[in-house]
Structure 1
Amino acid sequence: MSHQTGIQANAEVKKYFGKCRDGKIRFLKISIENEQLVLSKYHAVKGSWEQDFEKYVPSLIVEDQPCYILFRFDSTNSLGHEWLLLSWSPDSAPVRQKMLYASTKATLKQEFGSAHIKDEMHATVKEEVSLCGYAAHQSGASAPAPLTHREEALQELQLADPHARYSTDSRQSTMGGVAFPITEAAEQGIIDLQRGAYNYLQFRIDLEEEKIHLSKAGQIALAELPRQVPGQQARYHLYIFAHSHEGDHMDSVVFIYSMPGYSCSIKERMMYSSCKGQFLDNLEKMGLEIAKRLEIDDGKELTEEFLYDEIHPKRNLHRPAFAKPKGPPNRGAKRITKAQSAQ
């Protein structure tokens, strides 16, 4: 989906996007500042693309700050020179920055012209931003992608019956849920939660893009948790509930599915309900151990007492003994049967 964040290129960037077509510019470094795509740095062609890549590109990288680098190859197509779009998004960068850059990349490609981009590369560590790193990227891109278990099963079905049509997009009436992919920023947020960088994450489903995005991340107190729940939209939430139980300190991960009744559209209610199971499966595959799964209508339900009782339900140790109910009135005297003596 284009312009996902509403961020667009400023006038200077648009000007250079046209100017760099003359073949004299080797690279442009593009950053997001003040809700705009801005030109941070550029450089003219000096040597071959390999020489210029090795000499200039690594120095453009700032440890904790994501950016885009548009690098011109020496090869051409019918439109002119071909380009590489390098997305730098280090693990140490704030989640919000990584989310912003991940969701603005489509806008950058549209502004620059997708047809001019020959290759795309994503880097998270400095070692990848080198000529050797790019060669490794090319080697990985040329290799066939490994098949998932589902794709392997589908391949076997197709080999067994070549006339049948099977695909990973097939929908069946008995399907238990819909599996929307989790964005890269959302995956990183889950990893950061496990590392202790955050104790709260909120996820939303983009109904048009059909992806699960991270919409909030932070360290929040329990008293602030109810205010995080939107009153008009459905959401998934992860919260680390820090508490004491029987003298031990515990950090319990709670999954919360908030659905504020019929203020949401039918499609939104269906999508959140259908995606929940697959989303939880993905969380568990990422190593997240969820202590409790909750469904709520209103954020006001999320009190300390409520969470504690859900994770540690009270056991009733003093249940009254079963009392046999009285029989119906006026049913007459009991019948007495006598055992007959053996003849």
Structure 2
Amino acid sequence: MSHQTGIRCNEQLLQFISKCKTESTEQIRLIKVSIHNEELILDEYKEPADDWEEDYRRFVKRMVLVSEPTYILFRLDSRDASGTYEWLFILWTPEDSSIRKKMVYASTKATLKQQFGGGNIAHDYFATTFDEISFSGLQSWLKSNKEGLPLTREEQELKTVRRDEALSSCITKTNKTLPGLEFPIDSEAINALFDLKDDNLSYVQLNIDVKNEEIRLCKKKTTNELDIHNIETEIPNDSARYHLIVFRHTFDGEFHKSIVFVYSIPNSYISVKERMLYSSCKSALLNAITDRIGIQIDKRLEIDNPGELTHNFLIEELHPRVDIVRKAFDKPKGPVGKRGGKRLIKTNGDD
């Protein structure tokens, strides 16, 4: 759970929100909210000029700055079951903004949603680049995110049964010898992995409790809590860990949501026993994550230096560049030793 900052909407913003959600809803397309002097303030708003798609293309990119975070509440044309207009909530935290600003905006997001009315928000979008906040970036995200209808009672019961089955199978201790060691996964770690699968978490860090011979949850973070552009700061440099990262990014204009498994094992500070345990448990843990919990891992990495795991490094690993080198055409040589002697061609000037 994110720590809230205590920053709240000022009176002007509260009155505007109340007004635009009652008698003036159709007259408002977009609300830009910023933090100023420890308050959430109304920065700017726009009235509709066309349908929501054209208005998104027209307004949104013009509303954001390259180094300043902001919130955008964008009214869609769709309505919920009660007939109320649905809204898109955007948190814009550009890569060039300071870490402090990113943290403040991420931590204040829940307050703004609560004071606006979370029940009216149909989609919750997080963007850090102009590609992501563009209309095509939003479309790609909506398509890949597949924000669908709530689960039916039967679907929820089936989901619970599958979680319980995974829990019972993963916590059963098996006695094996190296290699291929399988330690049980504690219930807190399993629940965190299921939360990551269900898109409620974006980062899970696991470690091995050597004394009790089990895999435990070390750390977990939501999308708002995780600074994906400084992901290397989550990696300890004095102990081994397993990491699962939900890496949301845009590449060549397309939005991607990739799940990356990282096994970090520093070159120093690690005993031989610990190194062997982490190496031997990795395969069984991956099998449990993919087969029993059902997480599809897009990339598996092993690093020995936390500084390696940068945002750009993940991009390069997930989307390797293919260099196509066009070689000059070389005339093939004839068979060795079968070329024969040189021919003499007589010209008119020769005797």
What is the TM-score with the length of structure 1 in the denominator?
0.50
What is the TM-score with the length of structure 2 in the denominator?
0.49
Larger Rg: 1
